[in-house]
Amino acid sequence: MPKPIQRQSLTEMAVDALIGLIEERGLSEGDVLPATADLAAELSVSRAVIREAIAELAGQGLLERRQGRETVITLPGPRQLERLLRLRFAITGMQLEEIQDYREVAEVGSAKLAAARATESDIEAIRKRLDALRSVESEEDLHEADQAFHREVARAAGNQLVLLTIDAITPLLHQLRVEAWRGWKESGKGIEPIIEAHAAILDRINERDPDAAAQAMQTHLLQAGEGLALGRRRRDTRATG
């Protein structure tokens, strides 16, 4: 069955054309785009359309209008993606279990890559995060130390996209950690199995065993999944009790 034809506005086409221009010319962060009049002539659209396209890309963190009316290429970071994902999460009613699914895809893979790529300094950085996890004194400290450990593993994986997306969903991951820990704790479980699971991840990365590192991460993430499930069951029981 043929796909329906989707019409694009002139502004949308200009946005795509400007992105194409940046790619074709090999422009990078800090480079200046041609003047609005020149872009309008090159793309055969009005200056108003170019200004609208630039405004849209600026809103996405790809361009910045500076003094003197120069348009400079900027590098969007996790903050822009974070806002988009948080809004989508709120509007669509996405469940924390879906974030957990994402973790089991991205973080198992990052542990595997880290075991293959981590330098000695990367491993030492992960070890310091584990030490911080062992010395937490409050639940908030626990969540922050846990997040820092996992981010360090992602950084050691050496993949910018993995790190970008993990940074972008940090607020959602924090919410997930709070809920998972609540369910875990209310079922009578303690922190020691959590710390042991993190230590196992570090050991397998340090041993340069990608498959074992991936398995260690998967085993740990099952703890988070169990905490979420336990918490949900307890809430459902209270709601119907």
User: Could you tell me the CATH number of the domain that includes residue 49?
Assistant: 1.10.10.10
In this structure, are 22 and 116 located in the same domain?
no
> Measuring CA to CA, which residue among 147, 10, 22 is closest to residue 76?
22
In this structure, are 209 and 227 located in the same domain?
yes
Task: Examine residue 207 and state whether it is found in any structural domain, yes or no.
Answer: yes
Give the per-residue pLDDT at 150: 97
In this structure, are 61 and 166 located in the same domain?
no
In this structure, are 132 and 213 located in the same domain?
yes
In this structure, are 34 and 116 located in the same domain?
no
Distance CA 230, CA 227 (A): 5
pLDDT in tens, the chain (241 residues): 444 444 568 888 999 999 999 999 998 888 999 999 999 999 999 999 999 999 988 888 888 888 667 899 987 777 777 877 888 888 887 788 999 999 999 999 999 999 999 999 999 999 999 999 999 999 999 999 999 999 999 999 999 999 999 999 998 999 999 999 999 998 899 999 999 999 999 999 999 999 999 999 999 999 999 999 987 777 666 656 5
- C-alpha torsion angle, residues 172, 173, 179, 180 (rounded to 10): 150
Task: Examine residue 4 and state whether it is found in any structural domain, yes or no.
Answer: no
In this structure, are 231 and 117 located in the same domain?
yes
Distance CA 63, CA 74 (A): 5
Overall number of domains in the chain: 2
Distance CA 120, CA 208 (A): 11
Task: Find out whether 204 and 213 touch, Cβ atoms under 8 Å.
Answer: yes
User: Among the three residues 73, 97, 122, which one is the final residue of a domain in this structure?
Assistant: 73
Give the per-residue pLDDT at 6: 46
User: Could you tell me the CATH number of the domain that includes residue 154?
Assistant: 1.20.120.530
Task: Find out whether 121 and 151 touch, Cβ atoms under 8 Å.
Answer: no
What tokens does 161 get? 């996209």
Give the per-residue pLDDT at 68: 65
Which residues constitute the domain of residue 181?
79-240
Give the per-residue pLDDT at 238: 63
**pTM for the structure as a whole:** 0.76
User: Among the three residues 73, 92, 107, which one is the final residue of a domain in this structure?
Assistant: 73
Secondary structure class of 63 (helix, strand, coil): strand
Give the per-residue pLDDT at 236: 64
> Which amino acid, 115?
A
